[in-house]
Amino acid sequence: MRRRSRIKLTIAPPIGIAVLGASLVAAAIAGAPHPALRALVVFVVAFPLLWIALATTLTYTTARALRAVGVEVPSRTRAMGSFRLALTLVHRGRAFPAIGVLTNARFSTAGVVLDSGPWAEIPILEAGRAATSCWDVMAKRRGMLLVGPFRAAVELPGSAIRATAAFDKTYTVTVLPAVYHLQPFVDALLAGRHVAVGRFLKLPAATEEYVGAREYRPGDSPKLIHRILSLRTRDPNQFYVREFQDPSRDDLSLVLDTAPPLDGDAALHRYRLEKAICFVCALCRTFAARRLTVRFVCQRAARDVVTLRLRPLDVDLDRLEMELAQLDLTGDRATLGRVLLGEVRRHGAAVIFVSLRPREQLEQQRLHMVTLTPDHVPVFTREVVWQ
């Protein structure tokens, strides 16, 4: 799709205009009383004026003829990861090529605007042809990254203006949390805390759902034998049993602290949140790789507690990352306390609480859960992946 641009004109520096104008006037006045010099005076005065007029006209018409026909930008990326950004311009003019086109993009994320980014040059763009400018962009801040508007500046030598074509469309890139690689001993967090992945009951309860079949093992209840599947086997001594799972029961509860500090360094607290978010993300991926079902809980806003049930599926983990990408320090202590109490009271799941406080609170010590403070995060983190 070809989009028309908005043209912004930047006039040449006033001192240049003043000096040149005064010189033109001086030369004209000095030469006027001498008829013998008329041809010389006309040439001396007309040449710069014609040159400037031509360059200015070409600059403006060239900028007007530029169209943005394509922008290559991903819909999502990761913090600490870079992506290729490309803008394709087409020159719709017919007569003159566009010479020395400089292109630029504006980037903005929460509170940070990069407006003076590098200008990528297109030395010459023939009429009717297209050209592409490329940048590498690294987003270090999680959240929403706005890319655009794009600009293309044209200024022919001697022109009195710099014509900048602005293409107003803005593109949104979701910056997901950075990728942390965790130490292999992160499993130690579950040691002694988890009530095993196995089953308590020999027979399925009313709330359980059929999830699949597996080969019979000694100790399995004969009532669970899958008759149809067992009859299909060639070996008469081989049996299959049905498996059931309670969808309301999770293997692991992961609670993230999003409550802002009552006092202290806000920037430090925000930094801890960034670290905790990346850590929680990595933790969920690690446990999902071990076929555990993780229940992620955090407070997204006032009276808005998010609960995600993360099965070992990519779609669930992507949903988690999208949720984490938007998270901010918007929780409160009272809600957090209630959430923690509710998770600990849930049957069968181990609870890991990723706190933003440097020390475990007194009421948290009484609960049966693992509390990870910001100091613990580097212990379990092997490296941050720079992509």
Residues numbered 273 to 312 that lie near other proteins (CB under 8 A) are 274-275, 278
**Would you give the distance in Å from CA 158 to the centre of its chain?**
42
Judged by CB under 8 A, the residue of 9, 29, 201, 313 near other proteins is 29
- 56 binds other proteins per the rule CB under 8 A: no
Does 237 contact other proteins by CB under 8 A? no
Q: Which of 116, 102, 105, 88 is nearest to 148 (CA)?
A: 105
Q: Which stretch binds other proteins (CB under 8 A): 209-217, 331-339, 359-367, 376-384?
A: 376-384
Report how far apart, in Å, the C-alpha atoms of 345 and of each of 98, 192, 332, 340 are. 70, 17, 20, 9
Part in contact with other proteins (CB under 8 A); list of ranges 107-115, 194-202, 212-220, 313-321? 107-115
Of 1, 15, 334, 362, the residue at the interface with other proteins (CB under 8 A) is: 15
Choose one: 115-123, 195-203, 256-264, 307-315; the region binding other proteins (CB under 8 A). 115-123
Structure tokens at 211: 């999830």
Q: Which is nearer to other proteins, 180 or 240 (CB)?
A: 180
Cα separation of 28 and 76, whole Å? 62
* Interface with other proteins in residues 148-177 (CB under 8 A): 155-159
Are 120 and 102 within 8 A, CB to CB? yes
Of 100, 201, 246, 202, the closest CA to residue 159 belongs to: 100
Distance of closest approach, residue 127 Cβ to other proteins, in angstroms: 19
Q: Are 172 and 326 in contact (CB under 8 A)?
A: no
| Residue 210 engages other proteins in binding (rule: CB under 8 A) | no
Q: Does 80 bind other proteins (CB under 8 A)?
A: yes
Angle at 221 between CA 217 and CA 223, to 5 degrees: 125
Contact call for residues 357 and 257 (beta carbons, < 8 A): yes
Query: Which one, 181 or 338, has the nearer CB to other proteins?
Result: 181
- Nearest approach in angstroms of CB 299 to other proteins is 22
